[in-house]
Structures are given as C-alpha cells and as structure tokens.
Amino acid sequence: MAIVAVSVSPLGASVSVSRFVARALLELDECDLQYEIGPMFTTIEGDPDEVFAAVRRMQEAMFAEGAERVTTVLKMDDRRDRAHGMQNKMDSLQQKLK
C-alpha cells in the first residue's frame, strides 16, 4: 500500500483556486480510496496504480473546470516490508511525542 501526498493546481486561472480544487476532490470522492485533505496537499492511501489513476482524474477535473494548464506535485511512500497506512504513521508519531 502506498501513501501519496498530492497537490494539483491550475496555473493562470485566478488568485483563488478553490473551485478547481473542489472539482478535483469531487472526482477523488468517486474513487474507492482513503484520503485526507490538508491546506496544501491531499494525502491518498491505496494501491499505487489506483492512486495514479485517481490523480489523473483530478487533473482532468481541473481541465473540465476550465483550467488551461495544470501542475501536479506528488510524493509517494510505497512500503512493502510490512503493512502500513496513514493512521499507522500518525500513531507511531504520537507514541514518540509522549
């Protein structure tokens, strides 16, 4: 399972991009993936191929909303030695902060 931080943004659209981001997130809702929204990135958990397909759908949603150019930043943690996920990572961090 992979954990992916992704930021998909239209370029040159306007100062506010929230309508584009909302459209992309509505598309992500249609995918069967766990995700969390943050102020700068959305974190998605799942099979890498499914995550890549979801990110592509998010990009296309921005174009459908009227963007002429879209940039995507993606960071992936694909761990194969043991099961892990977003919650496992957060639990581990919380334990170390105590």
Mind listing the domains of the chain with CATH numbers? 2-97 (3.30.70.930)
Question: 24 in helix, strand or coil?
Answer: helix
User: Measuring CA to CA, which residue among 52, 48, 7, 3 is closest to residue 25?
Assistant: 7
Q: How confident is the model at residue 88 (pLDDT cuts 50, 70, 90)?
A: confident
Cα–Cα dist 75/51, whole Å: 12
pTM: 0.87
Report the chain's mean pLDDT, rounded to a whole number: 92
